Structure 1
Amino acid sequence: MDTIRQCIAGLLVAFVFGAAYVFEARLSDIYKEINEELSIVRLKNKELQTKVETLEEFEKKRGEKLTKRVEVVEKSLDNVEEYRQKVNLIQTSVSSIKNNVNKNHENLEQQLKKIKSLQDTGPTFVRWGRTDCPGTSILVYKGYAAGSHYLHKGGVSNFICLPEEPQWGDRTPTVHLAFAYGTEYESNMFGENAHQQDVPCSVCQTKTGINSIMIPGRTVCYDGWTLQYKGYLGAGYHDHPSATEYICVDENIQSVPGGFENKDGKLIYPVVAKCGALRCSPYIENKPLTCVVCTK
């Protein structure tokens, strides 16, 4: 029995030692497997760490780029605001310039209108002895040469051209009056059968120019001036008491129809040169003085 027990005990011991050996070998394999897995995990962890670091570096760089872009955008926005202000200033300046241009344009148009009006119309003059105007002017009105009576000591000096169609006011004077008489030619030198004929007149406006002048002692105008008409110098008689003035009587006179009666009034005589203070040469004693009416 003891031998059997010893055998069984030996077997049990052998089984235990064998099982322990097998278990130890299995543990060794498991340990190796675990170490291999740990190595793989460490390697993957390292790879993941590298990727994380790479991602962090990428994010850092991207963040820096975004920051720079934000700075650029903010700076651009600042520039945009500055440009906007400059644009507003330019627009204001352009608007002001446009207003000035419009005002200057209006002023120029007004000045052009004035210039055009000056080009279309010029000064006026009286054509004594005619009822029409030369081709260089237009007729304003026609009428009768008039003035003070040649015997009136208080008579006015100037001739006036009364229109053919007078208009009257409603007042009536009583005393202390002045008078206007018709005018007569007192010499046939002015024209054939002119003596005692009544004198017509016309007021003319030139188509160009701004000045008019009567030049005695000339048959043509000076350079730069336009001839309107020419004729002979006329005035009142030197020994009559009424004052007088010199006028230019057209060389081709007309007469007032039916005005051939000798009723006197204001009279026109030829004007001749008298030597003395007036230089004879170039002037000639008792030579009738010519005249021209000129415009410019």
Structure 2
Amino acid sequence: MKPPMASTSPPRALPDLSRSASPGMAQALDWVGMRNIRLPLQLDDPLCPSAVPSGVDMLINLPCAGIRGIHMSRLYTLLMRVAKAPQSPAGLIALLQQAIAGHAESRSDAARFVWHGEIVCPTGALVTPDLEGWMSHAVKLEAELSTAGAAIWLTVEATYASTCPCSASLARQLIQEQFEREHAGQGTIDLQRASDWIGRNASFATPHSQRSLAQLRVRVDPSARWDLGGLIGAADDALGTFSQGPVKRADEQAFAQRNGHNLMFVEDAARRLLSALSARYADGVIEVTHLESLHPHDAHAAVRWGAA
């Protein structure tokens, strides 16, 4: 379909009710704008080497009760410019400054930007050489500028495995009791017989594990970099059982060993993450959820620090 031909007539003056009409009910508003604008956006970070499909919120305040509305097309135009280059924390603050400046007649003095996207990181197998794949993380950015100052928050979601310490203890007890029943009265048992018995019966009872979710929300210095890799890596080191990409049997066995060395309740996971991230970031919030295999409900823990 061909686009319509441009008119050669002089431009007409079009009505602008956002400026010429008073609101029927005078009231200041905290935020006005658009939510979930779909556009490709790239972050200035090694883990985001190209633009990714994104949902963006772009909002400003309307503090003057006598002004009916704002010009949302101006906000949209700003976002189209932003989509053309990788965005840093400082770049987002500049965007918010432009949004406020572009609505001087509305007396706006605050702006807010929210980005929802996903990064896909390369990952390798635990043991098998050259076995590579991908791991995805949902990411959210929140940037706000007002007379109180600027604030930027970065949220990353990660999945990991959690093996219940109580369940592991109960499983070990059952295996121990079964061993004692089968070898009662036999006195000393040689190493090979004991090893053979373990090989046949170590799964007589097994602890329950579950896929688990960590939501990591940290405050980013507007003059710093995103450092997605540093945040994700610190969480991975703290938990030790991040979900894996490709695996062969040797990798699955190595992951089973990691789970055995990292038994954790939901409280343990939250505390591990708090210890790791509070050393890197002055403010933050951690939420962890274990999608229980024993129960039809989930276990949850949350903790915040600093000014979060």
TM-score band by shorter chain is under 0.3
Larger strand proportion, structure 1 or 2?
Answer: 2
Q: Which has the higher contact order (CA 8 A, sep 6+)?
A: 1
Name the TM-score, length of structure 1 as normaliser: 0.18
Name the TM-score, length of structure 2 as normaliser: 0.17
